[in-house]
Structure 1
Amino acid sequence: MTDRRNVLWIMCDQLRFDYLGCAGHPSLKTPNIDRLAARGVRFTNAYVQSPICGPSRMSFYTGRYVHSHGATWNAIPLPAGEPTLGDHLRAEGVRSVLVGKTHMKADLDGMMRLGIDPETEIGVRIAECGFEPYERDDGLHPDGPYDPDPRYDDYLREHGFDGENPWEQWANSAEDEDGRILSGWLLSHADKPARVDEPHSETAYMTDRAMDFIREAKADARPWCLHLSYIKPHWPYIVPAPYHDMYGPDDVLPPVRSEEERRDPHPVYASYMTERFSRAFSRDEVRERVIPAYMGLISQIDDHLGRLMDFLEAEGLLETTLIVFTSDHGDYLGDHWLGEKELFHTPSVKIPLIIADPDPKADATRGSVSDALVEAIDLAPTFLEYFAGKTKPNVLEGASLMPHLRGDTVSEWRGYVISECDYAMRRARTDLERPVARSRMFMICDGRWKYVYAEGLRPMLFDLESDPQEFTDLGADPAHEDERARLKDALFAWSRRVHNRITITDEQIAAKAGGELRGGILIGYWDEDEVEEARRDQKPGAPL
């Protein structure tokens, strides 16, 4: 190992934890991701802090729970001034660079209040989750709510894929035999190849841009953390040839769902079943059309990751670069009669997580699998420790995964994971006539029991040991009242923790205790003798 270390942090959008070869999928081929797992540790119990794109990513980027940073839904800004991973790493001399998607919505009102110009270097950092935006691209061109810089559109036009919106008309549309454009938004077209040639697709383009940055960074003495954030396999579910027909209906796994789930579901769950995307993915013909495309998108990502790994090896960077592969949340794909994500079933809230540490200290764990309860917020303190930065427990709420990567004895580790869902933007709020401020749900899972607290509604409870498919909701079962009470107490204890005191550490507070007397501020004393006695008796750091 040299003194200069780097981090390559790869994130896919909407990739399920179990749609990888190394995770046991029977027909999906991901040899390059599997090869990465053989070089590192694959975590099987990694959970996001919210199964929704925006708040999940804001937790990744801050190392803080949604309850703490407040960006509870897509396009809700991360408050200006919220510390980010980029801020922490910059203090260690590390460049934090973005290629791809963040789903960040800038807090322009907050920046204006503080007198910060969004066009300045500091303004850009705040507007981009602390990243240096080498290539910011959230997809959904050109009029999405995140105002991406549509360089990919310009790139497509430069390569002959012209049009008002080449992202949609070429990269995310198909074409029939008469030359008619078929929108990739429509699920019926998922089995057709995208109009764009594969080398010019989003996945290929973002991989190229990541390699462009790495080449340029060789001339810079600073270490870097590159966040390569792929837009796929997120919808639109359409993929260029030859990946569009790599898989077929025979490769589609049966849906994990039961009729029992529809008999008396939790009210929020019942409403989500009626959403258009859920009704669509409850149809077998939709799943058989879409899931092969979803799998093709994953295999395409895998191939380009193989290209990227070969590039790193040729550049001599594999031995100095910590490589992380993960996702921002999963995808129901029809499981539990649902589409999309957002609720707390395993296909939605659990994510793939593979970390390959190049340090020889990690040799003993290479190719291993860890079932430790891991949260998305653990990556920020892991990166900080990798770059030899100081821990910041008053700010970063996750825990470094370095002990798990290097085979160290972990005497104390968390006993549960937390995730949050704000459904105020969904029909569940209006169906149930809930106020916006009380359209929230919280999940706590200790590895066996998964408890969901829904404000103003009954809870949900699943026993993942006897019911791993989460078919039987025990939230109203009198026989499980003790488990519900135990987990509710743990959830409420978590919620009462100090989440927002980030400007001072506990150690600093302890050191300041008793400072009034030491500073000559004499509160409540009767006379000089009492003051002198207190000074003689006071221990350093002890309160009065």
Structure 2
Amino acid sequence: MVAAGLVGGVVAGLAVGLVDGLSAAFGEGGDLGAIPLTICLTLPAALTIGFFLGLIRGAVASLLPAEDATLWALARRRPEIDAQLVSGLFAAGICALGQAAVVFAFALGPASGMARKENAAISTGLFAAAALIAMAALFLPLWRGLMPLARRVPRLGGRPAVATTLLVLLLAVGAACALVLSRIDWRVLRFGPYVTVLVLAVMSWWLGGLLTRWPPSRLVIAVLVLIGFGLPALAPALGQRANAVSAAQQRGLAAGLWIQLGRRLGDRDGDGFAGWFAGGDCDDTNPRIHPGAKDIPGNGIDENCVGGDAKRRERPRPTIVTGKGRGAKEPTKAAKPKPLAEGHNLLLVCIDTLRADVLGAAGHPDKLTPVIDRLASRGLYFTHAYSQAANTPQSFPSVFTSRYPPRVPYIKRFTGYPRLKKSAVTVFEVLQAKGFHTAAVSSHFYFTERRGIRQGFAEWDNRGATGIRDSNKDIAAPRIVPRAVAKMRALAQAKKRFALFVHLFEPHSTYVLHKGKGYPYTKRGVAGLRQKYDNEVRFVDEWLGKLLAGLKSAGVADKTVVALFSDHGEAFGEHRFYFHGQALYNEVLRVPLVIAAQKLPAKRIDQPVALIDLAPTLLTLLGVPIPSSFQGYSLLGLAQIPGATAPPATRSLGAALLRYPAWPKAQRAMLAGRYKVVRRVTENRWEIYDLKDDPREKKDLARRDPALAKRLRQQYARFIEDELE
């Protein structure tokens, strides 16, 4: 039986690996070398599955009488055994349903409210184990209690009743799955690895049964077993082809999982990166050398395995004067611009998770954002503004400190919500030191004192903040905006020059359904997901209108700079990712950025800019010196304001996805002119896109144009060593 299981596993592995390889070999980003690689990688899993299924088949056969070679035959011949099997299926189904119900209830309940995901995972696992023990204890009483019912199940067409029961249960499970998938955005789930394992198990069991009835010759068995154990030994050699590995990761069904497991097993120095399977570790004996390391310039060691050892370069020092950003030359007194908003207040609004393309001003056909569109029409509207991070806890510190995420001073980096060091200089600390009354209004669990993000605020109203679980269903704008309006009125009456930050959580997922004709929900799947998101955008835009109306009613609209941005965007499957925090594609990085003030011209600016430029721009506008720690540039020069300096035309922009427990895969990105480089550091994958010809980032040029790829990799190496890291 074990031999039949092994042989069945080998044949199943060859077939499934071939299908997986074909899916990785053809189409955009495919490579023929992925076919033998995926076959070799699939076989160990297939052999393991076949071996254990063979053991199970052998154990069952040993318990059966010789005349009943299978449970099927035994159930057909002996009605009492048939009834026992039916009762066992009923009992197992009830126990499985109960197990799933209690585990899901715990996962969606107490576990979802835990701030530390590792604690949530451990507690859910322990709860699942306890529930499994309870269900196992319940199985025997259920089995016995259901016997009277099981005896009544009819034997149709001469088949045992267990066949009818199994068919009904499978139909019930299928219907339940279909119902669940029809009500959720199922494309968020990645079925490839699960389907692959399921197909391997089914094929191995079926083939094992055939081989038990019609056993092949010993020579055939020996050859197949030799293939099953021999081919996987070729996987490390085949895995040295970076293109094949990249194709298997990107397009394969389960090959990415096998590669990830192989790299973990082959990581000799324990630094999280491997030297084989194109893992990118150029010295797998030294844990300080790997693709995620910081390269120390001039020491003769290429710590990050990119572009050789970093060169010592003199970085231009930021000029700490009004009107200039990082690296600008000191202008003459005659050229020094007078601040356009000297004496003004500041209202800085962040609408969380707002994509750049959802604005009517950006061409969205449904005109979801009339308030933002009017604001953009009377101020500086930056059409190509890029966030430097893909999620909230990495983006806000970057925006407030005007530093790329890897350069933000954190107490601890590898955590879901890193905390700023007190040494970090934020834009609100700078404004507070210049006499601004700094305040904030929000209602979200992130904005607590322990995050360090409150540095520089005299007061922060975060009342009504819920836990992680409840925040995803929270409608916060109706309680935030009235408090913010009241705060502006109070500060205006007290004649205090203020800098007020307001955070509006909508349209962050989970997208809440709103009542009224203006918020239709008629679609399902990804289209329904996007429809709910658009409704949230429409909803928050209306509340932004009430906030700006409150500014006017406070009598300070003409003396207040209004700046609007988003911390990151949102993905809807454009690159097989959903929501945010997992990738650095433009649907997540491109965000709205609008700055409006009475003396600012109305201008649409298409040059790419970064969110780290927001703080220097606001300081310049308000007549406040820019700290030397800020990496961003003032953007006023792009508006052709006399005397204002602009960022260098050849400037590159960057973004970083720092590893965190819920997504321990580091990524970096560089925007250089028309090209964008994405490096999946943990997976050692490179992607290059021509944003002029391919704005949706669908055609990866990393392997299509080797000369371009080499040049951009060299430029990327200089950029991360000089600016990003």
Query: TM-score per shorter chain, which class?
Result: 0.5 to 0.7
Distance 2:494 2:712 in 1: 50
Mapping 1:237-316, distance limit 5 Å? 237-242=511-516, 245-246=519-520, 248-249=522-523, 285-316=524-555
Distance 1:469 1:13 in 2: 22
* SS of aligned partner of 1:45: strand
Is residue 448 from structure 1 mapped to residue 674 from structure 2 by the alignment?
A: yes
Match of 2:362 in 1: 23
Deviation at 1:441, TM superposition (A): 1.7
Mapping 1:116-131, distance limit 5 Å? 126=452, 128-131=454-457
Match of 1:160 in 2: none
Match of 1:44 in 2: 383
Amino acid at match of 2:717: F
Would you say the 8 A contact 2:567–2:591 is kept in 1? yes
Mapping 1:140-539, distance limit 5 Å? 141-142=466-467, 172=474, 201-242=475-516, 245-246=519-520, 248-249=522-523, 285-342=524-581, 343-359=583-599, 362=600, 365-366=601-602, 368-392=603-627, 394-405=628-639, 407-408=641-642, 410=645, 412-413=647-648, 415-426=651-662, 429=664, 439-455=665-681, 457-477=684-704, 479=705, 481-497=706-722
1:5-61, CA deviations, whole angstroms, 9 ceiling, x for partnerless residues? Answer: 111111111111111111111114221111111111211111111112111111111
Distance 1:411 1:53 in 2: 28
1:150-206, CA deviations, whole angstroms, 9 ceiling, x for partnerless residues? Answer: xxxxxxxxxxxxxxx7x77xx64xxxxxxxxxxxxxxxxxxxxxxxxxxxx411211
Mapping 1:46-65, distance limit 5 Å? 46-65=385-404
1:79-136, CA deviations, whole angstroms, 9 ceiling, x for partnerless residues? Answer: 222111121111111122111158356568xxxxxxxxxxxxxxxxx56243334322
2:446 to 103, 107, 111: 103
Distance 1:404 1:446 in 2: 18
Deviation at 1:137, TM superposition (A): 5.9
Distance 1:356 1:32 in 2: 13
Is residue 132 from structure 1 mapped to residue 458 from structure 2 by the alignment?
A: yes
The percentage of counterpart residues that share the same residue type is 24
Distance 2:394 2:653 in 1: 16
Would you say the 8 A contact 2:375–2:594 is kept in 1? yes
Distance 1:82 1:315 in 2: 33
Deviation at 1:469, TM superposition (A): 1.7
Match of 1:267 in 2: none
Would you say the 8 A contact 1:238–1:244 is kept in 2? no
Q: Which has the higher contact order (CA 8 A, sep 6+)?
A: 1
Deviation at 1:485, TM superposition (A): 3.1
Would you say the 8 A contact 2:678–2:687 is kept in 1? yes
Distance of aligned partners of 1:80 and 1:214 in 2 relative to their CA distance in 1, 3 Å threshold: same
Would you say the 8 A contact 2:633–2:647 is kept in 1? no
Amino acid at match of 1:403: G
Deviation at 1:347, TM superposition (A): 0.6
* RMSD of aligned alpha carbons: 2.7
Distance 2:394 2:699 in 1: 28
Q: Which runs of 5+ in 1 are unaligned?
A: 109-125, 145-164, 173-200, 250-284, 430-438, 501-544
More strand by percentage? 1
1:395-415, CA deviations, whole angstroms, 9 ceiling, x for partnerless residues? Answer: 111011222345447565252
Deviation at 1:348, TM superposition (A): 0.7
User: Could you say which structure has the larger radius of gyration?
Assistant: 2
Distance 1:103 1:244 in 2: 30
Q: Which runs of 5+ in 2 are unaligned?
A: 1-339
Amino acid at match of 1:245: Y
Structure 1 length-normalised TM: 0.64
Distance 1:489 1:137 in 2: 49
Distance of aligned partners of 1:424 and 1:301 in 2 relative to their CA distance in 1, 3 Å threshold: closer
Distance 2:482 2:429 in 1: 26
Deviation at 1:309, TM superposition (A): 2.2
Would you say the 8 A contact 1:49–1:376 is kept in 2? yes
* SS of aligned partner of 1:56: helix
Distance of aligned partners of 1:412 and 1:58 in 2 relative to their CA distance in 1, 3 Å threshold: closer
Would you say the 8 A contact 1:384–1:390 is kept in 2? yes
Distance 2:403 2:645 in 1: 22
Distance of aligned partners of 1:137 and 1:453 in 2 relative to their CA distance in 1, 3 Å threshold: farther
Structure 2 length-normalised TM: 0.49
Would you say the 8 A contact 2:477–2:543 is kept in 1? yes
Deviation at 1:241, TM superposition (A): 1.6
Deviation at 1:326, TM superposition (A): 1.2
Would you say the 8 A contact 1:422–1:441 is kept in 2? yes
* SS of aligned partner of 1:322: strand
Amino acid at match of 1:317: V
Deviation at 1:289, TM superposition (A): 2.5
More helix by percentage? 2
Would you say the 8 A contact 2:654–2:724 is kept in 1? no
Would you say the 8 A contact 1:102–1:229 is kept in 2? no
Would you say the 8 A contact 1:54–1:75 is kept in 2? yes
